[in-house]
A = this chain, B = another copy of it.
């Protein structure tokens, strides 16, 4: 029997309508290349989003066109978030840090029709323009006065184009499964893969994200989205903030300038911010040196890579800021788990508390998690067993764009994250490795990440990586790769004895290699594939058969 409730689709424009009607005076503040501090209100933003939709119609963009952006976080990018998706088109956010060939690949794979670009990234596009036949033209996200010279063909100025449009637009009543955004993951192997979000998944993710045990967003919050809008939709903040009517603050091109971030936090009374650990490292360093305050800040959402416990403690003890340690993926919109206490965690202190906050957290309602062994048997939530992490839920991808059957098409409907994790009896997950980086020594698993965390704590080590390397007796053994601190020449034996008592004896690496640089991917992660290729000829000293 069917219920008799209204047929109201979960649409991004429903968020926009709610925001405009209920919070017309709420502010959106941005740093941009042409504004030191741009500010307007939801009511003007909603008008502008409708002008964007009209502009796309005028440009002749198809009803399902992929509209790309290569841009920093600011009000214009937000207008495109709502104007492009709201009109039924697909917003394709491009990471400007991609290698040139990846850039060309994804523009062609997505068949982008128009590219909206910040002035800073025009040069990048000029180089590849000839290789992108689907692109009909470019819109430079700036004002007429600030319009740069460019060799790009069919170029328009965003402000000239948008401000000429009507502020009226009838948003289509789309099917909620209509694609809204496309975001490519840049894996370490193969071509980037596109995750195609839809309106339903985006709206449900916004509800899940705003919950008290997630980021706890309210109309009295001011949200600083440092995490780029080309990086999994800035973790969903652009949707969740408008859903609840929060103030939004964008750093534009200054996203890694600690002084600007500190100014914004204090001037705009920012209560919530989201960024990867490296941004916070820089900010905390700046705060230590200048003695400036982070007083308005109440909590920071940290993900993208594991957050060091020392950083969480510094935020908590020095600034009264709660760190929301989280884990997710582009394929998960991105929220998977977030570390908020349950009653049993409230009283923890000392080492127990440190162990607790080092975990990435528990499943956000709407996401299911499990860990399995090599035979896909579910492993217990005992905090000890670790296995391949699989997820499913309302905002998890089922497949990649135009790569049918790559993801989530397993018989049991779970998405393989490629991560290895433990889950404790309270449901708190801890990522221990990437599936492809875990070291399989004589049939047992060794976590490369745990070894790296120990290595970087050594006073002579600047950066460290651990990879599984061929060993005749054990199939694979851990190999430690180290970039020493400037001027230091660590001793190999001393480095390895550093692990004594910190891990099981059989986990200790069998060799050390010193390098000047460790290779990284476009998103700043260690490229273990490149590293393994570089070390192909290495042989362990104890590998007799070598």
Q: Which residues of A contact B (CB under 8 A)?
A: 1-8, 10, 15, 17-18, 21-23, 25-26, 64, 90, 175, 177-180, 195-201, 204, 207-208, 210-213, 216-220, 243-245, 247, 333, 340-344, 346, 362-363, 365-366, 368, 392-401, 408, 413, 415, 426-427
Contact = CB atoms under 8 A, between A and B. Distances in A.
Q: Which of A178, A220, A245 has the most CB of B within 10 A?
A: A220
Contact of A207 (B23, B207, B216): B207
Contact of A8 (B26, B217, B363, B392): B392
Nearest to A219: B342
B211 A207 contact: yes
A332 B476 CA distance: 61
A524 to B, nearest CB: 26
B219 A5 contact: no
Q: Which of A22, A64, A196, A413 has the most CB of B within 10 A?
A: A22
Contacts of A408: 6
16 contacts: A2-B198, A3-B178, A3-B200, A4-B400, A6-B392, A6-B396, A10-B394, A21-B363, A207-B365, A212-B212, A212-B244, A216-B216, A219-B340, A219-B343, A244-B365, A247-B343
B346 A5 contact: no
Contacts of A197: 3, 5
B401 A5 contact: no
A341 B220 contact: yes
B212 A7 contact: no
Classify the secondary structure of A's interface with B: loop
A245 B21 CA distance: 32
Given A2-B178, A3-B197, A3-B198, 8 more contacts: A1-B64, A5-B197, A5-B398, A6-B393, A211-B217, A219-B342, A220-B346, A243-B365
A216 B221 CA distance: 14
B180 A3 contact: yes
Contacts of A211: 207, 210-212, 217, 244
A395 B395 CA distance: 20
Contact of A216 (B212, B395, B415): B212
Contacts of A26: 342-343
B6 A394 contact: yes
